[in-house]
Amino acid sequence: MPDMLTALILTFNEEQHIERCIRSLAGVADRICIVDSYSSDRTVEIAIGLGAEVFQNSWPGHAAQFQWGLDTVGISSDWTLRIDADEYLDAKLRKAMQEWISNPEPDINGLYLRRQIVFLGRPIRHGFFYPAHILRLWRSGDGRMEQRRMDEHVVLRSPKIKTLQEGDLVDHNLNDLTWWIAKHNGYATQEAFARIEARHSQNSSTHILSGQAARKRFLKEKIYARLPSALRASFYFFYRYFLGLGFLDGKSGFFFHFLQAYWYRMLVEAKLYELQMRADSANLSPYELLCREGVFPQSTQSEA
């Protein structure tokens, strides 16, 4: 008998994405579990109509919600797949995953998939952004989600990981640019909080990651964070757009690389600067200010 696979998807108001995602899993996933944060649109109705199982839980944050799903839905299959509602498997990846599940290498407990981002209707293929190798498929029970505010990854016990070289996990969100900007504004706030928290603890979990994720976190925390704050975004945009040939992605690519590599990174710096000014006015450190405002637990403040 071939090994079995469970796909786990987090949703909130994803009616324009969820059908595409679920249909792409046909012939790959034996079970599809939706962890929904009480959507007010037709997400749940569509998912159930397509044969998915739906579990609902109030949103505690992405990492905590995904771990809740791992702990709650009763995964008994050999393999677990993490996929977002606005992602889908292309035909080549479906075939590669079917072949893998039918005949996996016994000593491998995780697979990197190649992620392809589509922005303003165009695949992004340059800027050192493609293919992004991300750990999304692992032997059930071997993986847990890092509990971080941002940039969380699944980490494996005793990882032995291989990359599927055929096909792409396509990340193509159909919302408009206004939605994308609002989403990344929220991300910037959370990343500013995470940076302040990391400065306070002086801890990094890079060592528990592997492959591209570990390299990216090392560069971000040990190299990028040590550059002058006013120049970080400029250096990163130059690295992506010129050294990484991002200009070959056309007009859509320019907007993506500028917004994702420059505007977003500069927004994080501006939010950090604003927090520092507010903290100075209160004669507190930024960490102490955020503890007082309830962003960080008071118990953590007292332990410090």
Q: What is the pLDDT of residue 227?
A: 77
State the Cα–Cα distance between residues 253 and 179, nearest whole angstrom.
18
Is the CB of residue 69 less than 8 Å from the CB of residue 35? yes
Could you give the CA distance from residue 297 to residue 288 in angstroms, rounded to a whole number? 11
What pLDDT score was predicted for residue 224? 72
Query: What kind of architecture, by CATH, is found in domain 5-171?
Result: Alpha-Beta Complex (3.90)
pLDDT the model gives residue 221: 67
DSSP the chain: ----EEEEEEESS-TTTHHHHHHHTTTT-SEEEEEE---SSSHHHHHHHTT-EEEE-----HHHHHHHHHHHS---SSEEEE--TTEEE-HHHHHHHHHHHHS--TT--EEEEEEEEEETTEE---TT-SSEEEEEEEETTSEEE---SSS--EEESS--EEE--SS-EEE---S-HHHHHHHHHHHHHHHHHHHHHHHHH----GGG--HHHHHHHHIIIIIGGGS-TTTHHHHHHHIIIIIT-GGGGHHHHHHHHIIIIIIHHHHHHHHHHHHHHHHHHTTS-HHHHHHHTTSS-HHHHHH-
**What digits encode the pLDDT tens for the residues 41-70?**
999 999 999 999 999 999 999 999 999 999
Predicted pLDDT of residue 148: 87
Length reported for the chain: 304
How confident is the model at residue 218, as a pLDDT?
65
Confidence at residue 228, expressed as pLDDT on a 0 to 100 scale: 81
Q: Residue 47: its pLDDT value, please?
A: 98
Structure tokens, 241:
């757009």
pTM, entire model: 0.90
> Percentage of the chain surpassing pLDDT 90?
81
pLDDT in tens, the chain (304 residues): 567 999 999 999 999 999 999 999 999 999 999 999 999 999 999 999 999 999 999 999 999 999 999 999 999 999 999 999 999 999 999 999 999 999 999 999 999 999 999 999 999 999 999 999 999 999 999 999 998 888 888 999 899 999 999 999 999 999 999 999 999 999 999 999 998 988 887 655 544 666 666 667 666 666 777 778 888 999 999 999 999 999 999 999 999 999 999 999 999 999 999 999 999 999 999 999 999 999 998 754 444 3
- Domain spans of the chain? 5-171, 177-303
Closest CA to 129 of 228, 7, 237, 280: 237
94/164 Cα distance (integer angstroms): 11
pLDDT tens for 157-199 read 899 999 999 999 999 999 999 999 999 999 999 999 998 988 8
Strand-pair partners of 80: 6, 138
Contact 11, 43 (CB under 8 A): yes
